[in-house]
Chain A
Amino acid sequence: MTSTATAPPETASAPPEAPPAPRPRRHLPALLVVPAVVLLVAALGYPVGWQVVTSFQHFGMMQQFGQPPEWVGLANYTALLSDPNLWVIVGRSLAFCLVCALLTVAIGLALALLMGAVGRVGRLTLQVALLLAWAMPVVASMTVWTWIVNWRNGLLNWALDRVGVDAQGHNWLVEPLSFFVVAAVIVVWMSVPFVALSIYAGLTQLSPEVLEAAEIDGAGGWKRLRLIILPLVAPVISIVLLLQLIWDLRVFTQIKLLQDAGGVANETHLLGTYIYQLGTGAGDFGMASAVSILMLLLTVAVSWYYVRSLMKEES
């Protein structure tokens, strides 16, 4: 509702080519964007530039102590691209991102349809619960989840024990596989609310007449879903899937905090934590910059479609 009605007022407002425009007015728009541009260049543009330059340099511990960095051309990139460890981490990040994003969208879609199918009470209960989970600060969510999966007296092991699984004292964060299962559950739990509520908002835009007409024409529930509902909300689904892919590629806080809580860092790195470890841990800023550039390119590639669709809406 907020970001919709745009075009008409714009065309009506002071066109710059109007000949009698007094001087200060002509420069006004430029002056208005100056603060934003200066800020973005200083805090984001400069770092990106530094990163591009540094990724072509050898910038390690010696440079930390004042030695000038040494130009090495593409050496960082060739070293990285021929490093099997990096490919393991890239593959792991992509796999984690895909699994989480697909699960999130599938569950979100199911919950959105559920909200559409139940009465007021059921729908409101579900919406409140989803909003609560969505509103939780990431770090607070992580403390609760580490408490739930804690090996000493967490709830998970108690519950498994009750069902007959011998899980007493089992630390789920030590094995990389179970570490990532825990991480995926947490990430999906955090992300589903946005997806479910967005898709539900899309569902409410469908006209009831169309659905009724389909029902009168004899389309059963499954057919209505497949042939009418899904195609109509497909644009929303593709946007939230895209956003989810972008966000899940950059998971850092969840992985970092689970590593802190007992995971084995070297076996559980994703791109974000790997860069962090290379840079602030090992002090190898040249390599860290090269991986960062790789990650930026990966994100921009995935985001491109999303940005293009927003630009279309803009003009």
Chain B
Amino acid sequence: MSRTLGPARSRRSTRRTVLTVVAVAVALVWAFPVYWMLNSAFLDKVTLQSSTPTFLPFGGSLDNFATVFGDAGFVRALGISLAVTLITVAAAIVVAFLGALAISRFRFRGRRSFVLALLLIQMLPAEGLFIAQYKMMSSIGLLNNILGLALLYTAAVVPFTVWMLRGFVAGVPVELEEAAMVDGLSRTKAFLRITFPLLAPGLVASGVYAFLQAWNEFTVALVVMTEEQSRTLPLWLRGFVQASATRETDWGQVMAASTVVAVPVIIFFLVVQGRMSNGLVGGAVKG
């Protein structure tokens, strides 16, 4: 036994080293497009147009970022995106919180159908609905309207946020609330002082989820925000892609703009990633 241990162990460790090298190589490949965006964002037009690519942003500058922030179209799109996103986040948190409270604290008639409807709606593709949504918005005069877009976004994120919050609400034992009520607090007060603070992480997570969805959304915005004046950030970015088909593009500027759009998303995403995938795969991971 002891004779074979030596070579077996060393064979295993070389295997591990090889696999680690493979893992790092795969990691580089996967992160490369993100790196390429950042790298190009710092380089000027002449450098980017040369026949050999520049792989490190030496001699780069922040000029592209300055151009982006000086662009009137960007500033307008940023304002619209911020407004739509904030309204969506606030509305989604309130509506989803009430809904989650109902399905995890009460048994009522229609509860099962409500949950089933939430799950099914979550699966409906925006692409199968946007024509009707476009007609609806145009008939009530909400095309190119921030509130109109926020309404559609809120409806799109509410099913998943209810589903996600449901777990958090159920995780707070009712006994805690009841104990507080025995100590003389009213039901409302017990809820506000005891349960609500415990739900804060859940509310933050669903808020961030709504933020990511609304901030990144492209399809519905493309259909509903038809005028150039009412572009959101993703639509504004698309303008560059379109332009690149026909004329020489200043890719440094496009990459700087993409970076500005992506950085808040990446930060927020890293905060809630675990909770989001748990909500989606839920029971399956548990086995």
Interface, chain A (partner B; CB < 8 A) = 1-6, 9-10, 12-16, 28-30, 32-33, 35-37, 39-40, 42-44, 46-48, 50-51, 54, 111, 114-115, 117-119, 121-123, 125-126, 128-148, 150, 152-153, 155, 158, 189, 192-194, 197-198, 201-202, 205, 232, 235-236, 238-240, 243, 246, 249-250, 252-253, 256-257, 260-262, 271-272, 275-276, 278-280, 285, 288-289, 292-293, 295-296, 299-300, 303, 306-307, 309-315
Chain B residue numbers with a CB within 8 Å of A140 are 37, 237, 258-259, 261-262, 265
Known: A46-B136, A139-B238, A240-B281. A311 touches B151 (CB 8 A): no
Q: Report how far A205 CA is from B278 CA in the complex, Å.
A: 13
The contact sample of 28 A-B pairs, CB cut-off 8 A, is A2-B205, A4-B282, A9-B172, A13-B105, A39-B151, A51-B131, A114-B23, A118-B20, A122-B19, A126-B30, A129-B26, A129-B28, A132-B30, A134-B273, A137-B234, A137-B262, A140-B37, A140-B262, A148-B36, A194-B277, A201-B277, A202-B281, A253-B218, A260-B242, A261-B244, A275-B127, A296-B128, A303-B120
Shortest beta-carbon distance from B27 to chain A in Å: 4
Is B95 in contact with A118, judged by CB distance below 8 angstroms? no
Chain A residue numbers with a CB within 8 Å of B106 are 13-14, 16, 28-29, 32
Does B245 reach chain A (CB closer than 8 Å)? yes
Is A201 in contact with B285, judged by CB distance below 8 angstroms? yes
Is A51 in contact with B132, judged by CB distance below 8 angstroms? yes
Is B27 in contact with A125, judged by CB distance below 8 angstroms? yes
The residues in B between 95 and 112 inclusive whose CB is less than 8 angstroms from any CB of A are 95-96, 98-99, 101-108, 110-112
With CB as the reference atom, state the residue of chain A lying closest to B101: A32
Is A54 in contact with B132, judged by CB distance below 8 angstroms? yes
Is A29 in contact with B127, judged by CB distance below 8 angstroms? no
With CB as the reference atom, state the residue of chain B lying closest to A235: B284
Is B121 in contact with A40, judged by CB distance below 8 angstroms? yes
The residues in B between 234 and 275 inclusive whose CB is less than 8 angstroms from any CB of A are 234, 237-238, 240-242, 244-245, 248-249, 251, 254-255, 257-259, 261-262, 265-266, 269-270, 273-275
Interface, chain B (partner A; CB < 8 A) = 16, 19-20, 22-24, 26-28, 30-31, 33-34, 36-37, 40, 48-53, 94-96, 98-99, 101-108, 110-112, 114-117, 119-121, 123-136, 151-152, 154-156, 158-159, 162-164, 166-168, 170-175, 202, 205, 215-216, 218-219, 222-223, 233-234, 237-238, 240-242, 244-245, 248-249, 251, 254-255, 257-259, 261-262, 265-266, 269-270, 273-275, 277-287
Q: Report how far A247 CA is from B214 CA in the complex, Å.
A: 18
Is B219 in contact with A253, judged by CB distance below 8 angstroms? yes
With CB as the reference atom, state the residue of chain B lying closest to A250: B125
Chain A residue numbers with a CB within 8 Å of B37 are 140, 143-144
Is A307 in contact with B119, judged by CB distance below 8 angstroms? yes
Is A153 in contact with B287, judged by CB distance below 8 angstroms? no
Chain B residue numbers with a CB within 8 Å of A194 are 277
Known: A43-B155, A118-B19, A144-B36. A150 touches B261 (CB 8 A): no
Is B26 in contact with A126, judged by CB distance below 8 angstroms? yes
Q: Report how far A30 CA is from B152 CA in the complex, Å.
A: 23
Known: A143-B255, A143-B258, A201-B285. A292 touches B128 (CB 8 A): yes
Q: Report how far A150 CA is from B248 CA in the complex, Å.
A: 10
Question: Which residue of A115, A125, A131, A250 contacts B273 across the interface (Cβ within 8 Å)?
Answer: A131
Is B119 in contact with A32, judged by CB distance below 8 angstroms? no
Q: Report how far A132 CA is from B116 CA in the complex, Å.
A: 33
Chain A residue numbers with a CB within 8 Å of B36 are 144, 147-148, 155
Question: Which residue of B26, B132, B269 contacts A48 across the interface (Cβ within 8 Å)?
Answer: B132
Q: Report how far A256 CA is from B238 CA in the complex, Å.
A: 10
11 further A-B contacts with Cβ under 8 Å, apart from A153-B49, A296-B128, are A6-B167, A44-B121, A111-B26, A114-B26, A131-B269, A140-B37, A240-B281, A272-B125, A285-B135, A307-B119, A315-B112
Shortest beta-carbon distance from A198 to chain B in Å: 5
Known: A133-B34, A144-B37. A260 touches B238 (CB 8 A): yes
Is B132 in contact with A153, judged by CB distance below 8 angstroms? no
Chain B residue numbers with a CB within 8 Å of A236 are 281, 284-285
Q: Report how far A211 CA is from B240 CA in the complex, Å.
A: 52
With CB as the reference atom, state the residue of chain B lying closest to A43: B155
Known: A1-B278, A9-B104, A246-B123. A136 touches B265 (CB 8 A): yes
Known: A43-B133, A261-B244. A136 touches B173 (CB 8 A): no
Is A146 in contact with B241, judged by CB distance below 8 angstroms? yes
With CB as the reference atom, state the residue of chain A lying closest to B38: A144
Q: Report how far A249 CA is from B128 CA in the complex, Å.
A: 11
Is A205 in contact with B287, judged by CB distance below 8 angstroms? yes
Known: A4-B286, A12-B174, A33-B114. A280 touches B123 (CB 8 A): no
Chain A residue numbers with a CB within 8 Å of B216 are 137-139
Shortest beta-carbon distance from B129 to chain A in Å: 5
Known: A42-B151, A147-B40. A2 touches B125 (CB 8 A): no
Is A50 in contact with B119, judged by CB distance below 8 angstroms? no
Question: Which residue of B107, B154, B265 contacts A135 across the interface (Cβ within 8 Å)?
Answer: B265
Chain B residue numbers with a CB within 8 Å of A235 are 284, 287
